[in-house]
Structure 1
């Protein structure tokens, strides 16, 4: 449900939602959960009790059971307590980079190396640790995200400073004039395909899936799902792990993770596509077991948007590259005993060749 008004600062997020005809006579807690589906009913009830949910024309605090009516507006305020969007690993907050590294900036565009766990823009309970919120607090105006990275995925992200630039870059995406390269670490399972290979399994969201939002894959010749294509190149294979690059041709949600997993390479740390999606639910509910942590090994999926090629800011092609994040570099060196600098050199060499898919 779209809000009619919203206000962001580093300390507070306020959003106002209209009550439509279909929502008339809903309980307040049901209405707010419909507006904010990523938050639990219990969490929202506490916000209502604290007076952080206000029905227009009525004096808060309200009861969760009070009914909302067509034409009213409901305003939800969330304060940044430093806890609402933190991630836990073994019961402790995951360290995070509060300031994203800027790769390129001019008067119209900023290109960043998005840290892991930073959202592209606010969603669900993640309202403050977001790229658009961070830069809007600096520039004091709306920032436009032309594409997105999953919360746990790090790497190159483009943010436009104005609508004109946003439209120009969106047109480049739509005309298939933007190329991306992702770095990843994955487990190699029995029967996995041999590198290099191109994955063309179709994919689509299953609305009845548990957990909600999981993407399903279908054979290339299936009538189900939507077309999807990713090219995979190997950098190194060691101890049943692979270090590789992915070049997405299409841009489906979770595309690289799904294509890698269904071809025998589930990503290291991927809680959703590791063969047991219940692990994702347990982490989400903060009840992950020691076995879950051991299976994941690291707090997030080992996926990094390492490079992006685009015709900007002039008619000449520009290549933006995001160095490997510290967490993945440390895992390579401490677990696989592989020098991260040697991997970086391989990536730079591969990107410097005439690859038709980049």
Structure 2
């Protein structure tokens, strides 16, 4: 495959293009370049005006000197770095916007559906972050504050400013962000089992998938549990992770002997088969339900709640 490169360009602003926003100007000028790539080169400072970094909303003035960097538009690179080859249908777009729980100039918080990865990679072409960058190109900075497993639904926080991202990462390190998950496990969870504290070690399998196991060589981890409702053969739990290790809640419940329903990695297939329903999707019954933190800019406490997905609720109704 031949490399296709647009060479570095310098454009002098005249009356014909003055007062245009720089993002709109570049979109018109670079018609073969995906919008997501254009916004990326702006937010990373590769596009300069008068040798200075600018924001997408900057309005051109007569005499401005626009420097456009060389851009590799090889087909392979475009497919790797953008989702222009992914078509989002109207219902999918509506579903994403419908699941926005909170939004302001600094934050975007969504109720992520089960089955969608938070980002592309490891054989996945795109994830929720790439989708939102495509749907909201006006946000020149949009980054994940934390992650959720692909099959876990619920609250996902994204930062619209680098300062917001730094602040929330600091709150995570200082354990000021409180999260509560809802999960359905097999068996009747013991009433006296309030927490699980074991060291966890993350390793990779031959297929490059992460797997976490209990090991003295691992890192300290702790999850607190509260029984929300008990059924004959299952328990609905509220789980609060004190530490934030990969697959922490899933490994802690499995280690205790009460695996999460439909957990294909740490669960028990023989138990899952007893609850399986041909009319319902067999999704991991783990949901990030509530998060509390200090708003990075307004400095007040903020609490977000994410309702359960319909499939999760339907499985709970089967147990009544």
Q: Tell me which interval the TM-score lies in, with the shorter structure as reference length.
A: 0.5 to 0.7
Q: Aligned with 2:288: secondary structure?
A: strand
Alignment partner, residue 183 of structure 1: 182
1:268–1:296 Cα contact (<8 Å) kept:
no
Question: Compared with structure 1, are the counterparts of its residues 138 and 205 closer, same or farther at alpha carbon in structure 2 (3 Å cutoff)?
Answer: same
List aligned pairs for 1:191-206, cutoff 5 A: 193-206=190-203
Give 1:88-107 correspondences, 5 Å limit.
97-99=95-97, 101-107=99-105
| Unmatched segments (≥5 aa) in structure 2 | 1-32, 37-71, 89-93
Instruction: Indicate whether 1:216 and 2:213 are aligned.
Output: yes
SS of the residue corresponding to residue 79 of structure 2 reads strand
Cα shift at 1:75: 3.6
Are positions 1:311 and 2:280 aligned together?
no
Structure 1 residue 146: Cα displacement: 0.9
Q: Find the aligned partners of 1:8 and 1:227 in 2 and give their Cα distance.
A: 44
Report how far residue 127 of structure 1 moved. 2.4
Secondary structure in 2 aligned to 1:77?
Answer: helix
Mapped to 2, the partners of 1:8 and 1:203 lie a distance apart of 42
Q: Give, in whole Å, the separation in 1 of the partners of 2:105 and 2:180.
A: 26
Report the more deviating stretch, 292-301 or 261-270. 292-301
State the distance in 2 between where 1:182 and 1:8 align.
Answer: 37
Secondary structure at 1:206's aligned position in 2?
Answer: strand
Give the Å deviation of 1:226: 0.9
Contact 1:193 1:264 in 2 (8 A): no
SS in structure 2 of the partner of residue 251 of structure 1 = coil
Unmatched segments (≥5 aa) in structure 1? 1-6, 11-55, 61-73, 83-95, 280-290, 338-358
Between Structure 1 and Structure 2, whose CA radius of gyration is higher?
2
> 1:284-338 CA deviation, whole Å, 9 max, x = no partner?
xxxxxxx9866765422100000001011532211111011111011111x112x
Matched, 1:164 2:163: yes
With normalisation by structure 1, the TM-score equals 0.59
Is the deviation greater in 230-239 or in 198-207?
198-207
Correspondence 1:228 to 2:204: no
CA contact 1:181–1:247 (8 Å) conserved in 2? yes
Q: Which residue of structure 2 aligns with residue 71 of structure 1?
A: none
- 1:325 corresponds to: 309
The equivalent residue for 2:26 is none
Deviations 1:204-252 (A, max 9, x none): 123457774111013xxxx321100000100111121001100000000
Aligned length: 240
Change (3 A) 1:100 1:201: farther
* Alpha-carbon distance in 1 for matches of 2:109, 2:96: 16
What is the CA distance between 1:9 and its match in structure 2?
Answer: 6.8
Distance 1:208 1:246, change over 3 A: same
How far apart in 1 are the matches of 2:155 and 2:248? Answer: 17
Match of 1:117 in 2: 115
More moved, 103-112 vs 132-141: 132-141
Residue in 2 aligned with 1:265?
258
CA RMSD of aligned residues (A): 3.2
Which secondary structure state, in structure 1, belongs to the residue aligned with residue 298 of structure 2?
coil
- TM-score, length basis structure 2: 0.66
CA contact (8 A) 1:9 1:133 kept: no
The answer (yes or no) to whether the contact 1:101–1:112 under 8 Å persists in 2 is yes
Q: Is the 8 A contact 1:153 1:304 kept in 2?
A: yes
Structure 2 residue 133 is the aligned partner of structure 1 residue 136: yes
What is the SS of the residue equivalent to 2:134?
Answer: helix
**What's 1:80 paired with?**
86
